[in-house]
Amino acid sequence: MTSPSVQEHRDKGRGPVRCAVLTVSDTRTLETDEGGRLVVQLLESAGHVVVRRGIVPDEPAEIRTWLDQALGDPNVQAVLTTGGTGIAPRDRTCEVVSEVLEKRLDGFGELFRMLSYQEVGPAAMLSRAVGGVARGKVVLAMPGSPAAVQLAMEKLVLPELGHLVWEASRPPRPRVGEGEAGR
């Protein structure tokens, strides 16, 4: 059951979100990238807009460059990545995403692993899905498999994306004693 205050915040976050979608993979192309294609399809089906899409190899410098460009784009409100979140030697998306985050959303990874555990059992611990806020924009890093993308998008991202963006981008409230209220 949703509390009235949570519902009020969700209502303020309604409307299309402008997203950047990045796939991190040494082997995928736009034609073979099922996970990234699914992110785009699910976003657009929910009424959101994909304003930027890309694929980069599992190279920290290339991931960071793409993220910096997306975060610097005034048209982007959220950055969703897929791939590179496991524990294989080349999986380095989480390290790069964590470097740019100013605020972590630990619950994103925790909830993803909990939901994933219900589907794949203890193998869920291999996911290092991570999320947070950077430069006032939401950043969420998901695994690359289509099943994991579908789970994350349907159960976590799409139900809260507008609310997350609204919270991350709203101006700070004046402290008590500042502005008109404190005079």
CATH of the domain at 126: 3.40.980.10
Is residue 122 in some structural domain? yes
Is residue 41 in some structural domain? yes
Check: pTM over 0.85? Answer yes or no.
yes
Q: Per-residue DSSP letters for the chain?
A: ---HHHHHHHHHT-S--EEEEEEE-SS--TTT-HHHHHHHHHHHHTT-EEEEEEEE-S-HHHHHHHHHHHHH-TT-SEEEEES--SSSTT--HHHHHHHH-SEE-HHHHHHHHHHHHHHHGGGGGG---EEEEETTEEEEEE-SSHHHHHHHIIIIIHHHHHHHHHHHHSPPPPPTTSTGGG-
pLDDT tens-digit readout, 62-109: 999 999 999 999 999 999 999 999 999 999 999 999 999 999 999 999
Domain residues for the domain of 47 are: 16-168
pLDDT tens-digit readout, 10-54: 566 678 999 999 999 999 998 999 999 999 999 999 999 999 999
Is residue 61 in some structural domain? yes
Task: Provide the domain count of the chain.
Answer: 1
Is residue 45 in some structural domain? yes
